[in-house]
Amino acid sequence: MTDLKSYLLERHTPTYMAYYRGKMSYRFHGDAWRAYVQQNYQDLSAGFTSENIFKDVIDAYAENLIPVVPELSAFRDAAIPLLIRGEALAVLTSDGSLTFPERFEVVSDGNYHMAMIMTRSLREGEDYLTFIDSDGNAELYSMPTPDDLATSREGYTLVEQTSGHQLYRFAMDTLGMGDSLASLQDRINHSIIDQTVVAEMYARPFWYLLNYQSTPQNPYLAPELQPPHQPLVEQATQSGGGRVFATSSQGPFGQLEPPTIGDMVNYHDSLIRKVTQTSGIPEFYFNPSGGSTVSGRALMILSKRFNNRISRIRESIEPELLRMLRDMGVYTSDADAPHLWSVDTDVTQGAIDEHGLALTQMGFPKRYVAEVVAPGVNLDDYADDGYPGGPSVVTVEGA
């Protein structure tokens, strides 16, 4: 057990909560780009992104992982780390309190779990480490909160040992989305900065000089004995807002065209499309006014991909959720086990409905349109409603 605690103390699993909160990040960059940005946009790293795709994707999935059982309404606190890290925890204490830790480390072989939970009390001025395992044993350690509010994993002393708790571990069948979404968010933030830089360039003119002769410099003279030189070109080429090119030839001098705003916007839009490729969520979900929605087979594929992923996650965590509800006394036998999930999970259904309406207006058969709008539904179940394959048409006298 001591080895497991040491292992947990040494682990530092990324939580990506700074990404979720929208903190500006741009890990992928060259040295020259970083130097330019730091020189001209000093406060950028302390700001927040204007397009937090990371949060949008996580929230879209989390909305479909909140059980409809009232006792589990707080599971939202676990759904976010579950999606980001691929695992989440819940603790039912011996006095009946249910908590979903945000900062934790956990090790598991599938049957036995041990977790280290990190919490802080500003009122008491104490930081706490709690080690808890699947057998319900817990050890609480504490230390005074540092003056700078920094976190530490050293200097704790044992406070108490208790038992009778329940530890629940929720795990996805795959790794969490944090790594891939964070990489994509970095590229999107980088693109936002690039567009800002290019826009600022366009706000200033681009100049060039022809037949320009710089004052000659004698390499054998001391700097203070050199003739005064013209600093025009040197100063201008260092300006972040424009470019000055000089040549001693008679001209003409090349082409002065920076990256166009249109090129930058097209590249940025291609990154947004990659969000759909990564998450399975349609592009129009992130940009509802960004043009017409995709239709037909593409919508079906996206719908199936998203819903299948939601179903897999639900299947992975449902046994642990039911065990938690049983321990809480919500039900006592499998026959009384509550249904956990809402049936409304499809983020593409609205677009599919729109596509079906368009097909109807084009004169496509109702049975075909219904199959597009509600794939997998047995239309024969509605044959008694008035006509084969659909609900009856009600006519009103005098209308």
Pairing between β-strand 138-144 and β-strand 126-133 as defined by DSSP bridges: antiparallel
Q: 135 pLDDT exceeds 90? A: yes
pLDDT tens digits, one per residue of 14-23:
999 999 999 9
More confident of the two residues 370 and 350: 370
Q: 142 pLDDT exceeds 90? A: yes
Residue range 363-389: mean pLDDT, rounded: 65
pLDDT of residue 387: 44
pTM above 0.75, yes or no: no
pLDDT tier at 28 (50, 70, 90 boundaries)? confident
More confident of the two residues 129 and 36: 129
pLDDT tier at 209 (50, 70, 90 boundaries)? low
pLDDT tens digits, one per residue of 304-319:
778 888 889 999 999 9
pLDDT of residue 394: 40
pLDDT tens digits, one per residue of 232-248:
444 444 444 445 666 66
In the chain, % of residues over pLDDT 90: 39
Residue range 146-166: mean pLDDT, rounded: 91
Mean pLDDT of the chain, nearest integer: 80
pLDDT of residue 11: 92
pLDDT of residue 274: 83
Q: 288 pLDDT exceeds 90? A: no
**Which two tokens mark 307?**
């819903």
More confident of the two residues 329 and 350: 329
